[in-house]
Amino acid sequence: MLINSANEKQNDPMSDFFNRVPLGVRYMILSALGFAIMSACVKLASARGIPVLEIVAARALVSLVLSYLDVRRKGISLLGSRKDLLIARGSVGALALVCVYYALTALPLAEATVLQYLHPMFTAILALLFLKERLQISTALCIAFSFIGLLAIARPEFLFGISESEFSLFAIGIAILGAFGSAVAYVLVRKLNETEDTSVIIFYFPLIALPLSLILLGRDFVLPSGWDWGILLMVGVFTQIGQIGLTKSMQTETASKATSFSYLQVVFASALGWIIFSEVPQTGTWIGGGFILLGAMVNMLWRK
């Protein structure tokens, strides 16, 4: 009977499917979910009157403490060897984060996340130019399907002839700028993975983001109260989960292939926006989400 049970487990289609999913892809899915929850917490904090730069500072503070403890646990140097690239990654990532957080507070959660996740396309181009990574057919198909999904969700007026929602052009521009900055940071992470430990790479991000956000915040600080503290803590914790998943994924997959799976955050964010903020996704959101998942499946299951 035990033998039959073992055979059934081995022949379980779901188990077989999960085993076929590369480890790097699993890390990226975890990262996408972590960042989606983080985005929802950012929007909640903003709705309670916390300034964007203060949210960035809170996230950086939590991440700095957790990252410091992780580096010390491993007994390695905090500063790393490629300090120039580490500082560049932290600086670009911090500025991109400010842009992304602003978009999350100025736009609906699903739309802000969609614009943010233009970065896999930027990443693929930058990886091709600077890392000399070959763009695989599966990755190109994934990006194509995902881009179609993005268009279906965003429904730009110049393509569809209608505008179902009026969004600030400034907010959209800031969101796209944040996506490009994220792509630059991801390519730097890929390069740093050749010489640096994951924990050191993660540590430099809040190390730069915390003082930068505090300087920019100035006198606009608002003292949190009640649930504000818990929400800000969750921003930092789920950020750390997302960062670890992202960095681990980039260690086992090419930059363009790994980040293509981050499109799943769009699906997670749409669900959270619906549940928490009553932002009911439009038909285009469901269609676009289907294309995004299709692209992810093509990239994951492709065999030479």
Domain ranges for the chain, please list them.
Answer: 25-136+168-254
Of 217, 279, 265, residue with least CA distance to 47: 279
Q: For the chain, give the percent of residues with pLDDT over 90.
A: 24
Residue 14, class by beta-carbon neighbours within 10 Å (0-12 exposed, 13-18 middle, 19+ buried)? exposed
Local structure of residue 261 (DSSP, 8 states): G
Average pLDDT over every residue of 76-88:
88
The C-alpha atoms of residue 24 and residue 29 are separated, in whole angstroms, by 9
Q: Give the pLDDT confidence of 272-299 residue by residue, as tens digits.
A: 888 898 887 777 767 877 787 777 677 6
Looking at residue 114, its amino acid is V
Q: Give the pLDDT confidence of 153-207 residue by residue, as tens digits.
A: 666 665 665 555 456 668 878 988 998 998 888 888 888 888 888 889 889 989 9
Average pLDDT over every residue of 218-232:
90
Q: Which residues of 159-182 are buried (b: 16+ CB within 10 A; e: fewer)?
A: eeeeeeeebeeebbebbbbbbbbb
The whole-number pLDDT of residue 26 equals 79
CA 66 distance to own-chain centroid: 19
The whole-number pLDDT of residue 269 equals 87
Q: Say whether 166 sits in a helix, a strand or coil.
A: coil
The whole-number pLDDT of residue 91 equals 92
Distance between first and last Cα of the chain: 39
Do the beta carbons of residue 93 and residue 205 sit within 8 Å? yes
Q: Give the pLDDT confidence of 86-110 residue by residue, as tens digits.
A: 999 999 999 999 999 999 998 888 8
Average pLDDT over every residue of 220-238:
90
Q: Give the pLDDT confidence of 253-266 residue by residue, as tens digits.
A: 665 566 667 777 87
Instruction: Give yes or no for residue 304 having a pLDDT over 50.
Output: no
Average pLDDT over every residue of 128-140:
76
Does pTM surpass 0.85?
A: no
For the CA atoms of the chain, what is the radius of gyration?
20
Q: For the chain, give the percent of residues with pLDDT over 70.
A: 79
The whole-number pLDDT of residue 11 equals 57
